[in-house]
């Protein structure tokens, strides 16, 4: 996504919230947005004007969504991100506060809070456009050294500046943390950074983009062979393919009647990371994340649809 350099201020003030007294199990380094959700009869074609059937606003951003999903599944989560000094900031942070995410490292900067326009059709399919705003100011230096603890997990995506994402991943690896990268949206990172990631999560479009970029096949197995990371390729209603040093495994999706797929991918990543932090194997964590992301599709929105831990446990039984 272009334009990360405009209007951002790196030294913004922190959101005034009490700091967690215990170390977080997980750090999420990523975006915080306010989502404008539009229910439409069909996804718009170029040049087409549609009348929405309904509209609402909700907290969003891939980083925030993943942090909420992990917290809902019982993880202690610390968010690293930014909001603007505008009327949207409180609304963008609402879901994180409700989920109990530690926001003491979130800063307010002299830019607009990130916004996302999301059109959702009657089949639950979506079309998303994001204005990064304050997310362009997020810096890896905001992660305090004493928070980089061996054995904990860093989760990141690509809605904040790529150079800062690479720096955060590097610092986490140097500290002995486990790293999870959701390459969404698909943005170029140094090959050295990609190869240092423990778990790479991509959907079909992101896998295809990465395969073209690396001049290889878009299968999870081919990407793993080139990068060395465990690769999880999500396939929507067809489940996931997982490739690591042991094997390539396919897991089916958990069957539900989906009404909104907006938050499914982020829910998957958040719950996957929470399960990994608790010591689950990659296969066990992915199976749990598939159930959680399916449950997320049965409710509107992203953060508001993230299932609670007891709901995930009930569905797994």
**Is 145 flagged in the annotation as binding?**
no
Per-residue pLDDT, 128: 85
- Sequence ranges of the domains in the chain: 26-30+61-112+135-316
Measured at the CA of 210, the angle between CA 208 and CA 6, to 5 degrees, comes to 115
208-218 mean pLDDT:
96
**CB count in 10 Å sphere of residue 279:** 9
**Is 124 flagged in the annotation as binding?**
no
Mean pLDDT taken over the chain: 91
11-29 mean pLDDT:
63
41-64 mean pLDDT:
94
- The H or E element spanning position 116 is strand 114-120
**Is 5 flagged in the annotation as binding?**
no
Share of residues in the chain with pLDDT > 70 (%):
93
**CB count in 10 Å sphere of residue 70:** 32
Domain 26-30+61-112+135-316 annotated CATH 3.40.1190.20: yes
- Phi and psi at 66, nearest 5°, equal -70, -35
Taking only the tens place, the pLDDT of each residue in 250-270 is 999 999 988 888 899 999 999
Distance between CA atoms of 285 and 246, rounded to whole angstroms?
A: 16
- The residue behind tokens 């897991």 is 251
**CB count in 10 Å sphere of residue 316:** 11
**CB count in 10 Å sphere of residue 157:** 26
266 is catalytic: yes
**Is 151 flagged in the annotation as binding?**
no
Per-residue pLDDT, 16: 44
Per-residue pLDDT, 317: 86
Per-residue pLDDT, 13: 54
Catalytic residue among 25, 111, 198, 266: 266
- The residue behind tokens 């194997």 is 281
pLDDT at 10 over 70: no
174-190 mean pLDDT:
96
Per-residue pLDDT, 210: 97
């Amino acid at each position: 996504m272009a334009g990360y350099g405009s209007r951002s201020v790196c030294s913004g003030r922190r959101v005034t919230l009490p700091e967690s007294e215990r170390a977080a199990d997980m750090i999420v380094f990523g975006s915080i947005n306010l989502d404008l959700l539009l229910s439409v009869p069909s996804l718009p074609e170029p040049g087409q004007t549609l009348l929405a059937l309904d509209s609402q606003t909700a907290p969003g951003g891939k980083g925030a969504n993943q942090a909420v999903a992990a917290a809902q599944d019982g993880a202690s989560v610390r968010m690293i991100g930014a909001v603007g000094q505008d009327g949207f900031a409180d609304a963008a942070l609402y879901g994180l506060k409700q989920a109990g995410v530690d926001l003491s490292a979130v800063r307010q900067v002299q830019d607009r809070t990130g916004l996302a326009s999301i059109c959702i059709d009657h089949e639950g399919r979506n079309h998303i456009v994001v204005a990064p705003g304050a997310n362009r100011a997020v810096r890896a230096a905001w992660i305090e050294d004493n928070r980089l603890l061996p054995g904990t997990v860093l989760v990141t995506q690509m809605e904040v500046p790529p150079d800062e994402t690479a720096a955060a991943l590097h610092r986490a690896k140097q500290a002995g943390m486990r790293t999870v990268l959701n390459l969404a949206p698909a943005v170029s990172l140094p090959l050295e950074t990609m190869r240092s990631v423990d778990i790479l999560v991509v959907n079909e479009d992101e896998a295809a983009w990465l395969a073209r970029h690396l001049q290889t096949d878009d299968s999870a197995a081919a990407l793993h062979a080139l990068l060395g990371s465990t690769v999880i390729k999500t396939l929507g209603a067809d489940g996931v393919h997982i490739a690591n040093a042991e094997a390539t495994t396919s897991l089916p999706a958990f069957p539900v009647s989906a009404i909104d797929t907006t938050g499914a991918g982020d829910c998957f990543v958040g719950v996957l990371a929470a399960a990994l932090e608790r010591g689950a194997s990659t296969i066990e964590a992915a199976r749990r994340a598939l159930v959680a992301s399916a449950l997320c599709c049965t409710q509107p929105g992203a953060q508001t649809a993230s299932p609670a831990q007891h709901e995930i446990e009930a569905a797994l039984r």
